[in-house]
Amino acid sequence: MRIKNLVAVAAIAALGLVAAACGDDSDDSSDVEVADNPTFAAGTTMERLANAGTINIGTKIDQPGFGMNNLDGKPEGFDVEISKIIAGKLGISPDKINWVETQSAVREEYIEQGKVDFITATYTINDKRKERVDFAGPYYEAGQSLMVRKGDDSIKGPEAFRAGDKTVCSVTGSTPAENIKQYLANEASQLVLFDTYDKCRDALQNEQVDAVTTDNVILLGYISKAEDAFQLAGDTFTTEPYGVGLKKGDTEFRNFINDVLEEAAESGAYEEAWKNTAGKFDSNTPELPQIDRY
Amino acid sequence: MNTISEYWETIWQYRDTFRSGFWVTLQICVLSATGALLIGSLVAIARISPVPPLRAAGTAYVTIFRNTPLTVIMFFAAFALPELGSNADFLRIPGLDKIFGRLGTDLPYFRFAVLALSMYTAAFVCEAIRSGINAVPAGQAEAARSLGLTFIQNLRHVVLPQAWKAAIVPLGSVIIAMIKNSALAGFFGVVGDLSQSANSLTSAGGEPVIPIFIGISIGYLILTVPLGLLLDQVEKRRAVTR
């Protein structure tokens, strides 16, 4: 850790941004590359932000592995790291980022009202949302997955339920609950639905059910709190592409972010961002999905 | 008028879901009612028995189960029993699980719901029976005792047959309340009963709330209204015999 920090400090010092590294010795954020006085075409969002030297970024603060406040009150996670990479390309160091909590329901409004310059907040791209905001990316494809007790290798994916002897829990009325039904031999004896995932987790822990199913990101959150008790089983079997939300019509900014994402995938910054955050609980390092330059 | 026909269309569209939900609810109710009547009678006998520890135990049972919200009892059944290592497997009664398929599954939540509902309702059953017993004039039991009948003989041949008549209507009300209470089972892991079906149709299926809830209400009314009418009949007949 010490050597890593030294390297980081040296790299940043070379860029003439020593201040950013001070007092920041526990956090991986100092690894993010910050561009030195980048120049952008006049009138673009990039130019405005680069000149301002600060940026408002929306993220979640309650999603372990993706956007979750640490004990210092700063968000950490894969979404946060992706944002730092983008801000870095604008010449803005992580400590100059103004983080804004964006809960699911308010994301479009915050973008439209200009409260944030862009959002990385487990934000699934879909057509309905595209009517109000634009999306760069996707930078990650989440999807429905299964969580099992640690060491249980009998379930490798949803096909395991076809035989009819394995039970699964989800939340009543949720899309994952509907999705899993097609894999079940007998709903009455295999499926349990509760109102919260906490109850499913308890049922899994006490061996009433063999698996819990929902989006892998939510499952990662539970695994992050009890790594000795649970693990993911198999790959995701649905697709939820996460994008960077930004103001509708700002195509230059969108193209810029898309370029940044592709560069980050090539340079390995993307992989490193994953490994330092959500990758701690999910060993499947994702590849950057095909960017959708619509 | 238009909306009403739209409502009917939605309800009709999901008639199969309502029907299967109705059967699951009916199964829960039949099993729980049986359980509640059995446990309730035993507790009632304990409460009027001449043995002080039995009386105390019966009173304690009623005090605890009558005064705890059913949601809490359901919660204990569904989450505390597993913690204690029980899946309520004693309810996997051979033979009975052929008729009520869910009694025998690996998923214990149907058994937990039946158990919780039986235990809770039994407290009220006990009190209904006891009120019936109290309605029997004290002279009846005293006369039976003076004839040399034992406590059990006294109950069986003298007190209970008369108490039953006074208790049947309050007992019916208790069972009707139980049928409505069974809606909670859908929130504690029982999949596919009336209330849980409604929940999944409205939230995942995106169906409008009002017709769906009208639909499940019909399901409950099919169970409760005939029972209520039957009770009215019983009451009328009793009025005649009196």
The DSSP bridge pattern shows strands A230-233 and A118-119 to be: unpaired
Contact A173 B102 (CB under 8 A): no
Q: Return the amino acid letter for B69.
A: P
Burial label, A270 (beta-carbon count in 10 A; 0-12, 13-18, 19+) = buried
SS3 A232: strand
Question: How far is residue A281 CA from its own chain's centroid?
Answer: 13
- If residue B40 lies in a helix (H) or strand (E), which one and from where to where? helix B15-48
**Do A112 and A196 meet the contact criterion of CB atoms below 8 Å apart?**
no
Domains and CATH numbers, chain A: 21-141+241-280 (3.40.190.10), 143-232 (3.40.190.10)
Q: Per-domain residue ranges for chain B?
A: 4-241
Looking at residue A21, what is its pLDDT? 41
Confidence of residue A11 (pLDDT cuts 50, 70, 90): low
Set of chain A residues whose Cβ sits within 8 Å of the Cβ of B86: none
**Do A142 and A216 meet the contact criterion of CB atoms below 8 Å apart?**
yes
Looking at residue A142, what is its pLDDT? 86
Set of chain B residues whose Cβ sits within 8 Å of the Cβ of A172: 186-187, 196, 199-200, 203
Answer whether B20 touches A (CB < 8 Å): no
Answer whether B12 touches A (CB < 8 Å): no
Set of chain B residues whose Cβ sits within 8 Å of the Cβ of A194: 187-189
Tracing tokens 């049986």 back to the chain, one arrives at: B34
Flag whether pLDDT at A178 surpasses 90: no
SS3 B22: helix
Q: Average pLDDT for residues A26-37, to the nearest whole number?
A: 65
- Closest by Cβ to A174, choosing from B79, B83, B204: B204
Contact A173 B188 (CB under 8 A): no
Interface test with B, best of A193, A199, A201, A238 (most B CBs within 10 A): A193
What is the per-residue pLDDT across A45-80, written as a single tens digit (0 to 9) for each?
999 999 999 999 999 887 888 888 888 888 999 999
Residue ranges in chain A assigned as alpha helix (H):
2-14, 45-52, 78-89, 107-112, 127-130, 175-181, 187-190, 197-205, 216-225, 251-267, 269-276
Q: Out of A172-181, A262-271, B214-223, which region has the weakest mean confidence (pLDDT)?
A: A172-181
Looking at residue B241, what is its pLDDT? 58
A278: its two tokens: 């959500």
What is the per-residue pLDDT across B80-136, written as a single tens digit (0 to 9) for each?
988 888 888 888 888 787 888 788 788 889 999 999 999 999 999 999 999 999 999
Interface test with A, best of B17, B106, B195, B197 (most A CBs within 10 A): B106
The rounded mean pLDDT for chain A is 84
Q: Is ipTM over 0.90?
A: no
**Do B192 and A188 meet the contact criterion of CB atoms below 8 Å apart?**
yes
- Closest by Cβ to A178, choosing from B83, B105, B204: B204
Looking at residue A9, what is its pLDDT? 53
Confidence of residue A248 (pLDDT cuts 50, 70, 90): very high
A151-165, A229-243, A268-282, B45-59: range with highest mean pLDDT: B45-59
A88-104 core/surface letters (b: 16 or more CB in 10 A; e: else): bbbbbbbbbbebbbbee
What is the per-residue pLDDT across B35-71, written as a single tens digit (0 to 9) for each?
999 999 999 999 998 899 999 999 999 999 999 999 9
Looking at residue B127, what is its pLDDT? 95
Greater confidence (B208 vs A140) lies with A140
Q: From CA A217, how far away is CA A227, in angstroms rounded?
A: 15
**Do A47 and A40 meet the contact criterion of CB atoms below 8 Å apart?**
yes
pTM recorded for the entire structure: 0.70
- Closest by Cβ to B187, choosing from A187, A195, A202: A195
Flag whether pLDDT at A7 surpasses 80: no
- CATH domain B4-241 topology: MetI-like fold (1.10.3720)
What is the per-residue pLDDT across B202-242, written as a single tens digit (0 to 9) for each?
776 667 788 888 999 999 999 999 999 998 888 888 765 55
| Cα radius of gyration rounded to whole Å, chain A | 20
Flag whether pLDDT at A29 surpasses 70: no
SS3 A277: coil
Taking the C-alpha atoms of A180, A181, A186 and A187 in order, what is their torsion angle to the nearest 10 degrees? Answer: 100
Interface test with A, best of B24, B87, B107 (most A CBs within 10 A): B107
Contact B82 A208 (CB under 8 A): yes
Contact B200 A167 (CB under 8 A): no
B112: its two tokens: 């937990």
